[in-house]
Amino acid sequence: MTVQTRSSAPIRSLLFVPADSERKLAKSTTNPADVLILDLEDAVAESRKVGARTTAAEFIAAQASKLTAKLYVRINPLDTGLAQGDLATVVVPGLAGIVIPKTNGVDDIVQLGHYLDVLEARAGIDAGSIKIIPVATETAPAMLHMQGFASTKIPRLAGVTWGAEDLSAAVGAVSNRDENGQYSPLYDLAGSLCLLAAAAAGVPPLDTVFTDFKDSAGLATTSRASRRRGFRGRIAIHPDQVAIINEAYSPTEAERAHAQRIIDAFAADPGAGTLGIDGQMIDRPHLVQARRTLGL
């Protein structure tokens, strides 16, 4: 399964935009991101959160039909007492999805789905059309409950992403990186659990943010490595990161050509279990990957 935009292209990039900044919201309309995430959580000061809800709702109503990008909103965590007010304001026609932060497990996602059931009906929105992407590893309970994605059906689920910064705070870590600047084992585990949870749920895994927005080379290198690991896209925290992410998570022409040769070879010999292509032994899992590369 792939997360889809209106043009049926897979999502590669998701850009956070502070929902209280009309200037940044206006600027985002020309950004090539596949998804714009209007942020009501970390990017908005406590004193501005209520006003940011209205600004986000007005932006969705005015821009959703004009943009190729889908519009999501990152609400505040369910246990803050702010999430219900966020949802009551931003669930308007044109809203494509909700990003839910600091979940403690799939029960939070199911609960959010129940809220959306009611609010869609109130707003005259088709039932089940607003999707959910959880940030699934930001709390200690969430890390211990990741197996829930394998046992709980969540029809609204459109992807799974993870976070390292809030997890550091949750466990009291001085840093989430070692002396060499690499993620410490706990955070590598969080990323791996995100991959497994998404695979178990049948949705795309989306990689976490690259916080040094001035390091374009580092973003490109880590994003290509992320794609090799299995991630299908990545969240951006700065508009300049989007084009780099889009390129990194798109198959190259060589990859497309190789995938097409695999598909053509199995089409020519549908009874084959394995085939030799380009000097390599290719089997059915390679066919699955080739179809995914071409978006089939």
pLDDT, position 109? 98
The answer to whether position 39 is within a domain reads yes
208 and 288 part of one domain: no
211 and 129 part of one domain: yes
Residue 108: pLDDT band by 50, 70, 90 thresholds? very high
Q: Total domain count for the chain?
A: 2
160 and 201 part of one domain: yes
pLDDT, position 296? 53
196 and 276 part of one domain: no
172 and 71 part of one domain: yes
CB 159 within 8 A of CB 11: yes
**At 168, which CATH number?**
3.20.20.60
Which run of H or E residues covers position 263?
A: helix 253-268
The answer to whether position 196 is within a domain reads yes
pLDDT in tens, 124-151: 999 999 999 999 999 999 999 999 999 9
Instruction: End-to-end CA distance of the chain: give it in Å, rounded.
Output: 10
pLDDT of residue 167 exceeding 70: yes
pLDDT of residue 3 exceeding 70: no
Residue 9: pLDDT band by 50, 70, 90 thresholds? low
Which run of H or E residues covers position 293?
A: helix 284-293
Cα(176)–Cα(195) distance, integer angstroms:
19
163 and 20 part of one domain: yes
194 and 61 part of one domain: yes
Domain that holds residue 268: 255-293
Handedness of CA 294, 196, 134, 91 (dihedral sign): positive
pLDDT, position 275? 86
49 and 128 part of one domain: yes
The answer to whether position 5 is within a domain reads no
170 and 118 part of one domain: yes
Q: What does 35-102 look like in DSSP terms, one character per residue? A: EEEEESSTTS-GGGHHHHHHHHHHHHHHHTTT-SSEEEEEPPPGGGT-HHHHHHHH--TT--EEEE-S
73 and 54 part of one domain: yes
Name the token pair of 187: 């955070």
3-class DSSP state of 206: strand
pLDDT, position 5? 34
The answer to whether position 4 is within a domain reads no
The answer to whether position 2 is within a domain reads no
109 and 227 part of one domain: yes
172 and 287 part of one domain: no
